[in-house]
Structure 1
Amino acid sequence: MTGAVRDVAAAPWAGLARFPLAVGPTPLVRAPRLEAALGLGPTLVKRDDLIGFGVAGNKTRPLEFLIGAALAQGARVFVTGGGPGSNFCAAAAMAARAAGLACELHVWGDPRSANLALATAAGATLVPTGGTVREQVDEQIAARVTQLGDGAYGVPRGGSTPLGAVGFAAGAAELAAQLDALQVRPGLIALPVGSGGSVAGLLAGLAAVGLDVPVLGVSVSRPLEEIRAKVDDLAAGCAALLGTAAPDPAQLTMVDARGPGFGSATDRERRHAREALWAEGLLLDETYGAEAFSAVVDLVDRPAGPVLWWHTGGLLPAFGSILKGPA
């Protein structure tokens, strides 16, 4: 199937196993008070922080398809992992519980975090990797799935697989319908990039619906060369899985916002997050949200149309940031 997709019933992901979690479509709103406070041009916000499943934010989107695949396989345990600040770990634990699956999370670093506490509360079993190297997580997940056999369904940290990316491809179609209804065309779509699945799915989905809008990916955890190659591969894999038009790599520009390190925002980013809280009541975490929004504020070349910032969520870490006090 190629070409623009507007009919949801005929969408290429309609035939995939899907476990419903999200309450959607998530709102697409303008942020006039934030525009005034920071001197921004027209700014739209896609509110995946209001996706309606726990505090899972945008991680809900890939999990609908990943959990669906696990159930279709007849798996009994969902195996994945991440670090202390992983929004995906908490979301995966809640989604697995809702689907009646056990959840095993392989985690690196100090497990004492709000996200991992929520994962434990949802019944997940935490398995420390014994180190602080993120790559050890995916290796350990793969080894555990091999050990458990067909009873386990495993995904790498962040759920970043071509199938996981389908969740955001469907999100792109959701966005396109909202833009059509509002008769608005953004000049740029900006979102944070961790393990790459969300932006890859967005690119595949934009190609599927025929929406040629520039995308700004704000890398928060990996060097640009590394994450760019992964995003391109995931986007191509997602499109191939769906049988839709191949995404155009030139549609994506990436910036490096790792700053002091993954999960640590700069003072400037924290000030921008505070403005978002004061002006619009938006909660931004220091792992993804503050960095991505700050990149929108700092755009040198403003596009002709509105900037659309995809607020991916991260509410639990945002509360932790607030408790630290003002920047």
Structure 2
Amino acid sequence: MTSLTSLPRLRLLPGPTPLQPAPRLSKAIGTEVWLKRDDLTGTGLGGNKIRALEYLAADALHRGCDCLVTGAGPQSNWAMLAALVARTCGLDPYLVYYGSSEEPAGNHALAELVGTDIRFTGSADRASVDGTLESVARELRGQGRRPYVLPRGGATALGSVGYVRAGLELVTQAMDAELEPESLWLATGSCGTHAGLLAAVRSLGSPFRVVGVTVSRPAAECAERVAALAHQSAGLLSLPTPESGDDLEIVDGYTGPGYGRSSPEGEEAARLVAETEGIFLDPVFGAKAMAALVDAARRGRLTGPAVFLVSGGAPTLLDPSRRQR
């Protein structure tokens, strides 16, 4: 039987990330909110993807790979952290970005800083990354290399295991703080983080709701992806899974102008969190999810205590084009 302790794992996190109250934010919106600080995961500038990379990079090394190939957009926190982790554990990083070459800033600049081989697809379609990943992998295999290929966001069953661990960690922290959360809110993009958390709370009898705010995909597509990844990651760890998916919650309506672009509601929510708690939310993931939480609280639809996952992504704040992309 596979378990969290038996799977190969790189210890990239220095320890549990803080679960802390947000008293000034809570007062401002009229509902008790706590923050799970996964922007403080300890590698690079932090971020939630480090949890997935603990297992994915370990698997790459276990399989004898010598390079890592993945991709997304130039401001992807996933892509930058994947390149950084690959470099630090002896794998050569290769990134595929959709779009055309641009002046490096934010995450793109940080990926270049660690000597990443970066390719652009020339197409604005995010899906153009997928086929190009396989092309790069074939090229590398032709050179005698052993690439480890990962999809956008690292959204695999093994990657989701990182957030099964995080979910169990959060439950323990809540018990220690004598906190009984009603819900956990997060941005849902590639869906792996949401899936791992859902698998974790299901295994414990669903002590709280997991509410994902879609920031990139239609809600129906998110629901399908989260359900599949939660089932697969639970199966990987021999965890119980429910017969129905009635506990799968996706909130729509907060993507604003679209994926990768900030929204007025998100910017307002990010400003509120910065002014009340001194914490920066990234404009295209965390800010939009917080906008949904704040809106629910102000409409009287949020029962506290609620926990919000701060997923990182700070380098995108340094991209001067983030409002125009």
Q: Same fold (TM over 0.5)?
A: yes
More helix by share: 1
Q: How many angstroms does 1:132 deviate by?
A: 1.3
Match of 1:268 in 2: 265
Match of 2:91 in 1: 101
State the AA in 1 paired with 2:315: L
Q: What is the distance in 1 between the residues matched to 2:125 and 2:272?
A: 34
**202-211 or 225-234, which deviates more:** 202-211
**110, 119, 142: which one pairs with 1:118?**
110
1:204/1:321 CA distance change after superposition, 3 Å = farther
Residue 132 in 1 paired to residue 94 in 2? no
1:122/1:209 CA distance change after superposition, 3 Å = farther
- Which structure 1 residue ranges, 5 or more long, are not aligned? 2-10
**87-96 or 246-255, which deviates more:** 246-255
Q: What is the distance in 1 between the residues matched to 2:36 and 2:321?
A: 22
**228-237 or 243-252, which deviates more:** 243-252
Residue 29 in 1 paired to residue 28 in 2? no
Match of 2:44 in 1: 54
Instruction: Deviation per CA, 1:280-313: give whole Å up to 9, x if none.
Output: 1110111101101111101145444401101101
Match of 1:6 in 2: none
Q: How many angstroms does 1:241 deviate by?
A: 1.0
Match of 1:7 in 2: none
Q: What is the distance in 2 between the residues matched to 1:258 and 1:302?
A: 20
Match of 2:204 in 1: 209
Q: What is the distance in 1 between the residues matched to 2:79 and 2:322?
A: 22
Q: How many angstroms does 1:208 deviate by?
A: 2.5
**313-322 or 24-33, which deviates more:** 313-322
Residue 234 in 1 paired to residue 225 in 2? no
Q: What is the distance in 2 between the residues matched to 1:283 and 1:107?
A: 25
Residue 246 in 1 paired to residue 241 in 2? yes
- For 1:82-97, list aligned pairs within 5 A: 82-97=72-87
Q: What is the distance in 2 between the residues matched to 1:304 and 1:291?
A: 19
Q: What is the distance in 1 between the residues matched to 2:106 and 2:304?
A: 38
Residue 161 in 1 paired to residue 156 in 2? yes
Q: What is the distance in 2 between the residues matched to 1:306 and 1:139?
A: 43
Residue 287 in 1 paired to residue 284 in 2? yes
CA contact (8 A) 1:176 1:211 kept: no
SS at match of 1:45: strand
**70, 95, 111: which one pairs with 2:60?**
70
Q: How many angstroms does 1:252 deviate by?
A: 2.2
CA contact (8 A) 2:83 2:116 kept: yes
Instruction: Deviation per CA, 1:162-187: give whole Å up to 9, x if none.
Output: 01100111100110110111121111
- Which structure 2 residue ranges, 5 or more long, are not aligned? none
1:226/1:319 CA distance change after superposition, 3 Å = same
**151-160 or 15-24, which deviates more:** 15-24
- For 1:177-216, list aligned pairs within 5 A: 177-216=172-211
Match of 1:308 in 2: 307
Percentage of pairs with the same residue: 38
CA contact (8 A) 1:161 1:197 kept: yes
Q: What is the distance in 1 between the residues matched to 2:115 and 2:321?
A: 27
Q: What is the distance in 1 between the residues matched to 2:106 and 2:321?
A: 13
Q: How many angstroms does 1:147 deviate by?
A: 4.3
Q: What is the distance in 2 between the residues matched to 1:323 and 1:66?
A: 29
Q: How many angstroms does 1:67 deviate by?
A: 0.2
Q: How many angstroms does 1:209 deviate by?
A: 3.2
Q: What is the distance in 1 between the residues matched to 2:179 and 2:319?
A: 35
**263-272 or 44-53, which deviates more:** 263-272
CA contact (8 A) 2:261 2:322 kept: no
SS at match of 2:39: helix
